[in-house]
Amino acid sequence: MDRYNALLTASYGRHYLAQRLVQDEHGIESHVGQLIQVSTPAKQHIGAVGDRMILESTSADQARIIEIETRRNLLYRSDAFKSKLIAANVDQILVVLATQPAFSPDLLGRAVVAAEANQIDLHILLNKCDLKDALPIARKIIEPYKRMGYPVSEVSAKFDPASIELLRPALQGKVSVFVGQSGMGKSSLLNAWVPNAAALTQEYSVRLDTGKHTTTACRYFDLPEWGRDKNGKLGGLIDSPGFQEFGLAHLSVSQLQHAFREFKSLLGQCRFHNCAHQSEPGCVIRDAVENNEIAPERLALFRQLRSDSKTADIQIQGISQAKERWSTSPTKPSKR
Ligand SMILES: Nc1nc2c(ncn2[C@@H]2O[C@H](COP(=O)(O)OP(=O)(O)OP(=O)(O)O)[C@@H](O)[C@H]2O)c(=O)[nH]1
Ligand SMILES: [Mg+2]
Ligand SMILES: [Zn+2]
């Protein structure tokens, strides 16, 4: 049986598409050839776009998964009942916000926490900056993140090509995944950076049989030639469906604390070592909020995530069991 390495390039529910991974004489890797339909024996959502796999041919354009390679990272969201994989092995999260419709500050906060917990770089894109009226409010919500050191770029996918071009260096050689609510302009940004994206999207949906629900699939797109870094590695963009809820119930309390960048220098300084930063006396995090060093919304988000976290045990087990069954070891955090 023909076995080969492949990249998972699209997922829609339990349907996956993949392409063969090949290396040229300089060791530069690319995924090439027709889209292969990948079947999953177990009734499990186990693959994510960006996964590297060993496949075994079952027909000319179909294969089954033999193994999923150990992931550098896995971005997913979950609540107490289920989890949804977004992407694996990414270098950077692009959080897409818009001036209009107004974005959810909570979702922004959660995307930032997810990035930190996975040690994935994050870049905030404020799109639709051509709509000036709503710009001040959007800027105000993003301001605390700018102060914490997260890069923020103001763009207009539709009306400011220069703002799009300016970001090319930030994408070169990296695999970036869009995260954001519906209607923020993720696909518009994709189309601005990847001119053939619309055609490939069409091909993906025919092969995935998504019908009209193309936006519910996650899909991988290569950048054009400008997207190579100095070593020749070509960057990619993963378009994901918009979502309203970014559940992070799978993160432990300890993971959560460390995922709040501005808490880090204060951790361990509260009077109680297991301080929940609620109403305990001698809480330095609460002090920092009172002194305007930490935004109150951030402490509120931490408390919310902390209370969600308790209910997550069953789900975490589910995920690790699925991984064992697929002979992939647990996600290791990526090195920056
Ligand atoms: N004014 C303005 N409108 C934009 C801009 N970018 C995108 N839009 C519009 O915003 C709407 C949503 O854009 P999409 O790119 O489909 O948004 P999305 O984030 O991919 O949405 P989902 O796929 O549903 O998650 C479309 O009507 C776009 O034309 C922009 O820079 N300025
Ligand atoms: Mg879209
Ligand atoms: Zn405290």
pLDDT at 79: 72
The answer, yes or no, to whether any atom of ligand 1 lies below 6 A from the CB of 215, is: yes
Top mutation candidate among 188, 189, 204, 239 for ligand 1, by most atoms within 8 Å of CB: 188
Q: Cα of 184 to ligand 1 centre, how many Å?
A: 5
Q: Is the pLDDT of residue 331 over 60?
A: no
Q: Cα of 262 to ligand 2 centre, how many Å?
A: 32
Domains 3-73 and 253-309 share a fold: no
* Atom number of ligand 1 nearest to Cα 180: 19
Could you say which architecture CATH assigns to the domain 253-309?
Orthogonal Bundle (1.10)
Residues 235 and 144: their CA atoms lie apart, in Å, by 29
The answer, yes or no, to whether any atom of ligand 1 lies below 6 A from the CB of 214, is: no
Give me the chain's average pLDDT, please: 89
The predicted-structure confidence for 119-136, as pLDDT tens digits, reads as follows 999 999 999 999 999 999
Nearest CA to ligand 1 atom 27: 183
More reliable by pLDDT, 44 or 108: 108
Q: Cα of 258 to ligand 3 centre, how many Å?
A: 13
pLDDT at 273: 92
The answer, yes or no, to whether any atom of ligand 1 lies below 6 A from the CB of 183, is: yes
> Are 240 and 178 contacting, i.e. CB atoms less than 8 angstroms apart?
yes
**78-239 has which fold?**
Rossmann fold (3.40.50)
For residue 105, the one-letter residue type is P
Give the torsion sign (CA, 287, 303, 151, 119).
positive
Report residue 1's pLDDT band, with 50, 70 and 90 as the boundaries: confident
Q: Is the pLDDT of residue 154 over 80?
A: yes
Q: Mean pLDDT lowest for which of 22-36, 155-169, 207-221, 243-257?
A: 207-221
Nearest CA to ligand 1 atom 13: 185
Q: Is the pLDDT of residue 40 over 60?
A: yes
The β-bridge relationship of strands 152-154 and 83-88 is unpaired
Best mean pLDDT range from 122-131, 195-204, 313-322: 122-131
Give strand pairing partners of 38.
Answer: 16, 63
> Are 109 and 95 contacting, i.e. CB atoms less than 8 angstroms apart?
no
The tokens for 31 are 């995924």
SS in 3 state form for the chain? CCEEEEEEEEEECCEEEEEEEEECCCCCEEEEEEEEEEECCCCCCCCCCCCEEEEEEEECCEEEEEEECCCCCEEEEECCCCEEEEEECCCEEEEEEECCCCCCHHHHHHHHHHHHHCCCEEEEEEECCCCHHHHHHHHHHHHHHHHCCCCEEECECCCEHHHHHCCHHHHCCCEEEEECCCCCCHHHHHHHHCCCHHHHHHHHHHHHCCCCCHHHCEEEEECCHHHECCCCCECEEEECCCCCCCCECCCCHHHHHHHCHHHHHHCCCCCCCCCCCCCCCCCHHHHHHHCCCCCHHHHHHHHHHHHHHHHHHHHHHHHHHHHHHCCCCCCCCCCC
Report residue 245's pLDDT band, with 50, 70 and 90 as the boundaries: confident
Burial class (CB in 10 A: 0-12, 13-18, 19+), 238: buried
Q: Mean pLDDT lowest for which of 74-83, 122-131, 169-178?
A: 74-83
Q: Is the pLDDT of residue 158 over 50?
A: yes
Report residue 142's pLDDT band, with 50, 70 and 90 as the boundaries: very high
Q: Cα of 272 to ligand 3 centre, how many Å?
A: 7
* Atom number of ligand 1 nearest to Cα 156: 31
Q: Cα of 128 to ligand 1 centre, how many Å?
A: 8
The predicted-structure confidence for 254-300, as pLDDT tens digits, reads as follows 999 999 999 999 999 999 999 999 999 999 999 999 999 999 999 99
Report residue 18's pLDDT band, with 50, 70 and 90 as the boundaries: very high
Q: Is the pLDDT of residue 306 over 90?
A: yes
Give the torsion sign (CA, 86, 328, 330, 91).
negative
Q: Is the pLDDT of residue 41 over 80?
A: no
More reliable by pLDDT, 96 or 43: 96
The answer, yes or no, to whether any atom of ligand 1 lies below 6 A from the CB of 101, is: no
pLDDT at 13: 80
pLDDT at 335: 40
Can you give the pTM of this predicted structure?
0.90
The answer, yes or no, to whether any atom of ligand 1 lies below 6 A from the CB of 323, is: no
Q: What is the residue extent of each domain of the chain?
A: 3-73, 78-239, 253-309
Nearest CA to ligand 1 atom 23: 215
CATH number for the domain formed by residue range(s) 3-73: 2.40.50.140
The answer, yes or no, to whether any atom of ligand 1 lies below 6 A from the CB of 247, is: no
